[in-house]
Amino acid sequence: MDVWQNLIRCGDQHLHNAVLDEAELAYIRACEHIEKRLLLNDNSSDVVEAVVTSYHSLAECLKCQGRYLTAMEVLLKAHQLMSDGLRQSAHLPQKRAAFVEGRRKTIAEIKYFQWIMRMSRDANPADAEVHPEVIYGTSQDSRLGL
């Protein structure tokens, strides 16, 4: 089992036990590990799965803490990593397909978070600390395919 998988499993266990700070730390470490692999141009088959799993897990943990904007930033970072990987893997069709699928999953997760944030804001407008451009989208979203 790879380092990132152990960190995710550790984070999942902390999340299950409602130890959110420790879960967040484990997920952050998993994301950092994956970023280092990407910087080293790691072309192993599990790098896309690692990005999707680690960043989506961190976003879910942040959502449990009510930190929706930070969770959205994490997902946007995952989207950027997928887009960068897509550009770098233009000559590797199988790898490119994996990055396309990873980006599709990340976009779906971003849309889900936008929906949650919209529902949260509509239910409690007085408590809304969410920026409308994140909830309802901006012109930048069209470039993301949202």
Break the chain into its structural domains and give their ranges. 3-144
The model's pLDDT over 50-72, given as tens digits with 9 standing for 90+, comes to 889 999 999 999 988 988 889 99
**pTM for the predicted model, two decimal places:** 0.76
Determine whether domain 3-144 maps to CATH 1.20.50. Answer: no
- Residue 66 near residue 20, CB atoms below 8 Å: no
pLDDT digits (tens, 9 = 90+) for 99-137: 888 999 999 999 988 888 888 776 565 544 544 444 444
* Helices of type H across the chain: 3-16, 20-39, 47-64, 68-88, 93-123, 132-136, 139-144
Report the alpha-carbon distance of residue 8 to residue 25 in Å, rounded: 10
Of the pLDDT bands very low, low, confident and very high (cuts 50, 70, 90), residue 43 is low
